[in-house]
A and B are shown apart, each in its own frame.
Chain A
């Protein structure tokens, strides 16, 4: 990568207010006269509501109103409007809000919540994908045919199928005829939680002219605005969504969350401000979590190690509401394999309703899960073929400009460097080299790798825009719609402005706080698309600004516009460094020596919309789904303790093909992604009992890795192979950093002890069962060795 002054440098974050405790979060926003809302959860996973008695709650002093399902006779949602505001007629999961209380104090609301009596007629809960798809399964959404849904979603009313997607490339039967080796596998991942630090909170008020204002914890202010407006029948212009710092989202705060609830409550209460704040347990029930997965795969290769066919049945356990998860079902359907060219693919991806907590987007958008399955298929094939795991991957890796995507379009020439990441990661983990044997005979070490790719899953026309303003002192304010939730995009954007205008980065302000009525539009802060999309809009806005500066300078110095250049915060006539005007001097326009002013304030505007992406064919999936793909490979060294069955990740290697704007922030993403991925691999799972009741809605029993569980060694490299239209070539990495770990760890465990684990999380309990089933001789040999040693 060319060397720049700001871009590509590990410049410390500018938004340090969190460190000092100054940062404002949605939780900090309190309005005068504000009321407190509390939701009451269902005690059954699946039940008819025969009656509901609100009278006890209404008698609690301080209670202002109590709402139940029939108060809001409509559904809300994004891709499939399948959500009740409060349960109507039926409850679909344990903990689903059935009533809402609004009171003068939180204490009164909490007290009243205990006094709501619901008369339930329990129904059989549907708790697994298999149960949901069985012909005699109870139907969870009985009125599915009436639901509003996006045109690219294909629900099947009368079943529990929320979306059915088909991908067809080539002729898969023909492909399998050519295959010398075919491997099969069934892989599963459970429902998990985003486990972000900041519980959801939203405070809303409605003005007498109908204007709605809300402060809430979310990723994408404009998506919240649009969905609120669409769900409640309001014009967008009357909805103002305020974005503050968000304390982590990881996909769990994409789209519309619970914003409609305080808004609706406020509307019914003459516009008094209403606040709904969730505690940790409530956050597990009332906010959406991540879907569970089931993959059945068959993959074939020739004896030369060429992949020729892939057949897959993919299922997502979406829980009670599939609103966002239907789109993840599409995501894993359109990119159903690792980053390899396979001529014949046949995949059905089915999103299924069950009576569990609703689900939504999660960092990786299905790609971590799909790669967990597919990258184990690759290792199995390598083993069967007797080809090295790296070599097999290299023989099939996507070749930019030559290979075709599963959706049948050619991969762009400048797409990146998949093979490069594979080679480098294998080298860094010493794949195929001798591994140091631990001195304890019960400890075994192994290495494993997983390659991956991912791009944003977004509408073909997902738009971004940016505004750049010059202040009187020559400093710059950037207005963009990206949400700031710790990922640091706003810092990278500031670096780009500093680089382009040649001014110190400290003079560029990209405020983390924003409101939809005062910044430029962006579709969503999801899919690792922020820098790529807002970055391009911003570059155009800077160009616009520079043109204005050039115009002013050309008038002042009586030269043509293209004789002026902008750098070092000044517009100068080329070759005449003494003929310059600084940005400060022309911030509000330029005043000529005779007092006449020209142009007015400098303000640049830029828009971006991907021009390559298209709709996808409903029968085959043919089309261009992504504006970019980032390629990468992760690799680990693990140590398995055959006595306690604990797995420790000793070293984690990440190699990504893209250049980065800020290597410091990028490393932060890599470390965070690895820790999150390893934690998901080894610990995380939402557990339900046979009645469908969630057993671990808290951090006592929903286990997330602690500081001591982090690998001793984490290594990351960025190969700097950029995509031409990306800002300074940089593609997104936020989600990518957590994709490879489950697959790489499973492969490394196999490398260490020859045991295959097809299901997450890889707990000691599960590993013990697997070792006893797959390799009992290992334990016998160890027993013998230990006895002889003594």
Chain B
């Protein structure tokens, strides 16, 4: 997921089949990985599925001196039900999410994203942790995890910290992670009783990165919106929540006409650009539409549960 504008400054025609020389490590445990990061973090790149990293290396957009392949760390590959929350290891493949009843039942917005992420081959290789750490504004797992109130556990030799996903992204390709840190796991609280969530992506073809995407979570009581969260992808330097729109919706009766009116506010909370995938104009127009759709689907799902 390399932004075209940035690319145009690079040597696009002589991409490389053979990357620059690097030293390669394949730790088998988390501790080994953290040791290596402690030592080489600044000049190292973590390799998970490699579906983002290798593309960038081929373009020479990154030229790491050290590669730390964490794929062999079994302890980072899991989906665990802990009653009130679900923990997902950073190395969990998209394909595993796709096959998980837990994800399908509790986090339908994440499941929506899984269904439209890449093709089967990519889903077999790509990890959910890699998707977040790559920090593309178009990362498909980000909007759903944002509306699901997910938290990320970051680990380093010094210890662990947990942050809400909304504080994780800093800009295209940038996160709050320190060079010696890695993403260990994602925790998602089970959704409130009576709530529902959904994710919608608009792309150029099937199996494509988003032109624009949106996730919503919603709870309605006595016909009134008591909880709503909205996140939008590919419409700002990072995936974003839209707090003002959420605020305007809270307490409102859940009526399509009201939703339709209020979601127009999201346009003020995003800052899309023209790029090789779409135009700012289109992204603004369609952001409201997919947020509205996602809210309607969230509502339907809530009432079905």
Chain A interface category by residue count: 35 or more
Would A768 and B282 count as touching, CB distance under 8 A? yes
A674-726 contacts to B (CB < 8 Å): 679, 683, 687, 689, 691, 693-697, 700-701, 703-709
Would B289 and A643 count as touching, CB distance under 8 A? yes
Would A43 and B276 count as touching, CB distance under 8 A? no
Could you say which residues of chain A place their CB within 8 Å of the CB of B13? Answer: 39, 41, 95, 281-282, 284-286, 697
B263-305 CB mask vs A (1 if < 8 Å, else 0) is: 0000000000000111101100110011001000000000000
Would B8 and A693 count as touching, CB distance under 8 A? yes
Residue A113, interface by CB 8 Å: yes
Min CB distance A282 to B, Å, is 6
Would B282 and A765 count as touching, CB distance under 8 A? yes
Min CB distance B211 to A, Å, is 7
Residue A644, interface by CB 8 Å: yes
Query: With A and B bound together, what is the CA distance between A706 and B285 in angstroms?
Result: 26
Taking a contact as CB atoms closer than 8 A, the residue among B11, B16, B204, B256 that contacts A786 in the complex is B256
Residue A272, interface by CB 8 Å: no
Residue B133, interface by CB 8 Å: no
Residue B121, interface by CB 8 Å: no
Would A281 and B15 count as touching, CB distance under 8 A? yes
Could you say which residues of chain B place their CB within 8 Å of the CB of A38? Answer: 14
Min CB distance A529 to B, Å, is 32
A22-45 CB mask vs B (1 if < 8 Å, else 0) is: 000000000000000011110100
Could you say which residues of chain B place their CB within 8 Å of the CB of A787? Answer: 256-257, 260
Would B7 and A695 count as touching, CB distance under 8 A? yes
Would A701 and B18 count as touching, CB distance under 8 A? no
Query: With A and B bound together, what is the CA distance between A683 and B211 in angstroms?
Result: 13
Which single residue of chain B is at the shortest CB-CB distance from A116?
A: B14
Residue B209, interface by CB 8 Å: yes
Interface centre among A285, A683, A695, A769 (most CB of B within 10 A): A695
Residue A543, interface by CB 8 Å: no
Residue B105, interface by CB 8 Å: no
Could you say which residues of chain B place their CB within 8 Å of the CB of A236? Answer: none
Could you say which residues of chain B place their CB within 8 Å of the CB of A709? Answer: 205-206
Would A41 and B282 count as touching, CB distance under 8 A? no
Would B276 and A279 count as touching, CB distance under 8 A? no
Residue B248, interface by CB 8 Å: no
Given A695-B4, A763-B204, A768-B281, A279 contacting B15 (CB threshold 8 A): yes
Taking a contact as CB atoms closer than 8 A, the residue among B202, B206, B211 that contacts A708 in the complex is B206
A548-581 CB mask vs B (1 if < 8 Å, else 0) is: 0000000000000000000000000000000000
Would B12 and A281 count as touching, CB distance under 8 A? yes
Would B211 and A764 count as touching, CB distance under 8 A? yes
Would B209 and A700 count as touching, CB distance under 8 A? yes
Query: With A and B bound together, what is the CA distance between A113 and B277 in angstroms?
Result: 30
Which single residue of chain B is at the shortest CB-CB distance from A642?
A: B289
Min CB distance A688 to B, Å, is 9
Residue A134, interface by CB 8 Å: no
Residue A150, interface by CB 8 Å: no
Min CB distance A280 to B, Å, is 8
A766-784 CB mask vs B (1 if < 8 Å, else 0) is: 0011000000000000000
Would B257 and A110 count as touching, CB distance under 8 A? no
Residue A430, interface by CB 8 Å: no
Could you say which residues of chain A place their CB within 8 Å of the CB of B207? Answer: 706, 708
Residue A151, interface by CB 8 Å: no
Min CB distance B249 to A, Å, is 15
Query: With A and B bound together, what is the CA distance between A305 and B166 in angstroms?
Result: 64
Residue B178, interface by CB 8 Å: no
Would A110 and B202 count as touching, CB distance under 8 A? no
A624-667 contacts to B (CB < 8 Å): 643-646
Would A110 and B276 count as touching, CB distance under 8 A? no
Would B286 and A644 count as touching, CB distance under 8 A? yes
Which single residue of chain A is at the shortest CB-CB distance from B274?
A: A765
Could you say which residues of chain A place their CB within 8 Å of the CB of B18? Answer: 106-107, 110
Would A282 and B276 count as touching, CB distance under 8 A? no
Interface centre among A644, A679, A704, A708 (most CB of B within 10 A): A644
Residue B208, interface by CB 8 Å: yes
Would A95 and B16 count as touching, CB distance under 8 A? no
Could you say which residues of chain A place their CB within 8 Å of the CB of B119? Answer: 706
Could you say which residues of chain B place their CB within 8 Å of the CB of A769? Answer: 281
Query: With A and B bound together, what is the CA distance between A694 and B11 in angstroms?
Result: 11
Query: With A and B bound together, what is the CA distance between A39 and B14 in angstroms?
Result: 8
Which single residue of chain A is at the shortest CB-CB distance from B14?
A: A113
Query: With A and B bound together, what is the CA distance between A679 and B282 in angstroms?
Result: 20
B7-49 contacts to A (CB < 8 Å): 7-8, 11-18
Would B281 and A705 count as touching, CB distance under 8 A? no
Could you say which residues of chain B place their CB within 8 Å of the CB of A281? Answer: 12-15
Given A696-B4, A706-B207, A787-B260, A765 contacting B15 (CB threshold 8 A): no
Taking a contact as CB atoms closer than 8 A, the residue among A110, A700, A708, A789 that contacts B16 in the complex is A110
Query: With A and B bound together, what is the CA distance between A43 and B9 in angstroms?
Result: 9
Which single residue of chain B is at the shortest CB-CB distance from A643?
A: B289
Residue A209, interface by CB 8 Å: no
Would B16 and A696 count as touching, CB distance under 8 A? no
Taking a contact as CB atoms closer than 8 A, the residue among B17, B277, B281 that contacts A701 in the complex is B277
Could you say which residues of chain B place their CB within 8 Å of the CB of A40? Answer: 14
Given A768-B285, A790-B255, A790-B260, A704 contacting B205 (CB threshold 8 A): yes
Could you say which residues of chain B place their CB within 8 Å of the CB of A701? Answer: 4, 276-277
Min CB distance B46 to A, Å, is 22
Query: With A and B bound together, what is the CA distance between A192 and B293 in angstroms?
Result: 34
Residue A619, interface by CB 8 Å: no
Residue A143, interface by CB 8 Å: no
Would A106 and B282 count as touching, CB distance under 8 A? no
Would A705 and B205 count as touching, CB distance under 8 A? yes
Query: With A and B bound together, what is the CA distance between A645 and B282 in angstroms?
Result: 9
Could you say which residues of chain A place their CB within 8 Å of the CB of B205? Answer: 679, 683, 703-706, 708-709
Which single residue of chain A is at the shortest CB-CB distance from B211?
A: A764
Residue A434, interface by CB 8 Å: no
Min CB distance B20 to A, Å, is 9
Could you say which residues of chain B place their CB within 8 Å of the CB of A113? Answer: 14
Min CB distance A85 to B, Å, is 17
Taking a contact as CB atoms closer than 8 A, the residue among B1, B12, B277 that contacts A697 in the complex is B12
Given A786-B260, A787-B257, A790-B255, A694 contacting B12 (CB threshold 8 A): yes
Query: With A and B bound together, what is the CA distance between A721 and B51 in angstroms?
Result: 52
Could you say which residues of chain B place their CB within 8 Å of the CB of A285? Answer: 12-13
Query: With A and B bound together, what is the CA distance between A279 and B11 in angstroms?
Result: 14
Given A282-B15, A763-B204, A790-B256, A695 contacting B8 (CB threshold 8 A): yes
Which single residue of chain A is at the shortest CB-CB distance from B212?
A: A644
Residue A114, interface by CB 8 Å: yes
Given A38-B14, A281-B13, A644-B286, A703 contacting B257 (CB threshold 8 A): no
Which single residue of chain B is at the shortest CB-CB distance from A277?
A: B17
Could you say which residues of chain A place their CB within 8 Å of the CB of B208? Answer: 703, 706
Could you say which residues of chain A place their CB within 8 Å of the CB of B281? Answer: 765, 768-769
Min CB distance A66 to B, Å, is 14
A68-123 contacts to B (CB < 8 Å): 95, 106-107, 110, 113-114
Would A703 and B11 count as touching, CB distance under 8 A? no
Query: With A and B bound together, what is the CA distance between A786 and B257 in angstroms?
Result: 8
Given A279-B17, A281-B13, A701-B4, A687 contacting B276 (CB threshold 8 A): yes
Min CB distance B175 to A, Å, is 22
Could you say which residues of chain A place their CB within 8 Å of the CB of B285? Answer: 768
Which single residue of chain B is at the shortest CB-CB distance from A40?
A: B14
A/B interface sample: 10 pairs, CB < 8 A: A38-B14, A39-B13, A95-B12, A106-B18, A110-B18, A280-B15, A697-B12, A703-B205, A706-B208, A709-B206
- A40-B14, A764-B278 given; 7 more Cβ-contact pairs under 8 Å: A110-B14, A114-B14, A696-B276, A700-B209, A703-B208, A763-B204, A768-B282
- Could you tell me which B residues sit within 8 Å of A by CB distance? 1-2, 4, 7-8, 11-18, 55, 119, 202, 204-209, 211, 255-257, 260, 276-279, 281-282, 285-286, 289-290, 293
Q: Which 5 A-B pairs have the closest CB atoms?
A: A790-B256, A41-B13, A708-B206, A765-B282, A285-B13
